[in-house]
Structure 1
Amino acid sequence: MRALTWHGKHDVRMETVDDPGIVNPRDAIIKITSTAICGSDLHLYDHFIPSMQAGDILGHEFMGEVVEVGPKSTLKKGQRVIVPFTISCGSCYHCNKSQFSACPNGLPADNQDLGRQGYGHEMAGLFGYSHLTGGYAGGQAEYVRVPFSDVGPLVIPDGIEDDKVLFLTDILPTGWMAAENAEIEPGDIVAVWGCGPVGLFAVQSAFLMGAERVIAIDHFPRRLELAARFGAETINFEETSTYDALMEMTGGIGPDACIDCVGLEAHGGFVDNIIDQIKVSTFLGTDRIHAIRQAIIACRKGGRVSMPAVYGGFVDKFPLGALMEKGLTLKTGQTHVQRYTHALLNAIVEDKVDTTFLISHRLDLEEAPKGYKMFHDRQNEWTKVVLKPGMGVGKEAVAA
């Protein structure tokens, strides 16, 4: 089969690799019909996430048709399914608490020490996201093996196009959980750092949860425009001081809840961010944490901070004193995707949640390397890239 493979920083290639097969009785094989490039994939593209190996197949946002099942799978051949990016057994201590991204059984035993060394516990198993998370082949390919297929995949009813439900695999539940972790109450003012895919879904989710005002922060005009479509007020951090603007917009109190959807690759010519960039470039640090610093400083006293954004290592200059003295609550974590998929599918069917607005470009799977480069280099125009096997090379579809 054809698949997108990682070979180093900014080096991803379409290659012919072995077809996947059934390994365990709960497995299923999915023929990919749509797969997407996630902002988190760019962390791999920029080689910020450790334990990648040459030839690893990328991709954790995908859906398709069931073509083969193990004897203990509950799926049937021919069904269309979306597949959560988290690999969870469904019956362990954490799964029984609906903490699916904390499941230890989604990770092979020989990968568990990597997470314990860095974080104290093993990581969750994730598709296409380094050997720290299991070394599983991802879904930017023609076919993929899905472990625990009786737990993760959600069958999609006939008549619903891929584009409407593809993001149930990751970014829609992630944006929703980000807003949920912010404990939004009716009348709240919510500030969202980053108007990438997760940030835009967090904006939409915050309004659905009762926020009176949502303030979206970014520097890409197109992304700020998309946030404004849902009624968000916007701040371009290249044109104004984010902290000063937030204080003015909230009467000096600060937002009730702040959501960091930026993560370890924060942009901007801020003093702390420049220092972080120097440390990353000289291997003295791993993360640029300007966004979460700013969210904590700006949040009102007694407020809530939600951090769906990805961070990878140890950081300094973290405003721990502000977090404590202001009495803030910080909630974070990989998304418990399976907890949300059924309810969010219903919201899509009932037209309560819009997903297709995000897609800017559709490419054939063979053009995945181009998709990565453009998504990385031209983030204003390339807001979301969907890859479709068999679409036809050169038949790029650009959203209106």
Structure 2
Amino acid sequence: MGVQQSKEELLYQQVNYGNIEGIRNLRAQGAGVEWIDKEGKTPLMVASMRPDLLNVAKALIELGANVNAYRPGSHAGTALHHAAKKGLDPTVHLLLSHGANPFITNDDCNTALDLAREKGHVNVVRAIEGRISLFSGWMRENYGPGFLEAFAPQFMTRKIWAVILPREARNPTRPVKLELAIYPELQAAKPRVVVKLWKSQLEEPKYNLADPSMTIFDKVTKSRYKLLPAYEGDKQQLRSFYSACCGMAQVASMVPARPVNAPSPNPIPNPSLAPSAESTPSKEDLELAMAINASIQSAIAEGVPNVQPMTSTNSSLNGWGSPDSPAPSKTSGQAQVDAPSSSKYNGWDVPGTSSNQSSSKPNKSQNNNPSITNCTSNSSNTNCATTC
């Protein structure tokens, strides 16, 4: 006589058959939805690995399946890992909208986003980044020797797709760690470079210029990255990008997202029409902040994890930063970039710069450039992450 199968095992089998009605009947009879096969897969994991079982995955979630159940072992993980590895972006959207945690790593220390990048699944990469990014959009990158900028600046920039992402889930006890992923094009699954912003120094843009830029010095690779807004003179976008680098997601959300299939950015006809350099919050800014708060409330209703409503226009950081930390001002985190003579400007050698000691208050005799932010600072006046 064969061993009688449990209701849980029978439900698991109905998942393989795609029999939603059978799954519901067994669930009504008290069958659980977390039965594990000999490979450690739950019914939801099985449904998340096949494109024809999307409706089955929906039914299992409705019946209470744990979207973050973990399967140990190499190349395993959660249902989101399996869906991302297979390139099933509809399933990825489904799991994320029902609380799947994109920051969980498998035994190989890979997140679902890491697997999607490795396998070249562009749609999955964009789907996950769209859920957790503080900023994503077209930017311009300045490249080549710095002395050529004065002669032919229009030939020294190239368009890039820039995304600012938290490295891990928000931890209230420590600042969030952010990464800047630079893609050569929108259809690229793998970023050309990933900059660890918590190990970088940021130079605040000079918004009084017609076409301001932002400089990031990566202290790990000794490289510099000079980024400009997608459209010449678009100071609002650059201000949002800088704010996102410092962990202020709600500021980045103030710029309407451009369609992902938008054409290559062109200079705006009249740069003088770009937003002014004044940073004092206006009535329009407060109205935008209220609209963003409503969006966050909507995200909470959809089940998006780690999203908290804003208590004020300068706090909460959209769930990624410490709610008790004030927003950084233009004069916070003063530090001169310490770049040795062997540093690189996106791969080109440039003369080294002299180093000055960091100070929470500008000292005219020590620091003549108060616009450089040290993202490894432990000061409470900055939202940038501390060094590991």
- Return the TM-score normalized by structure 1: 0.27
Higher strand share: 1
Greater radius of gyration (CA): 2
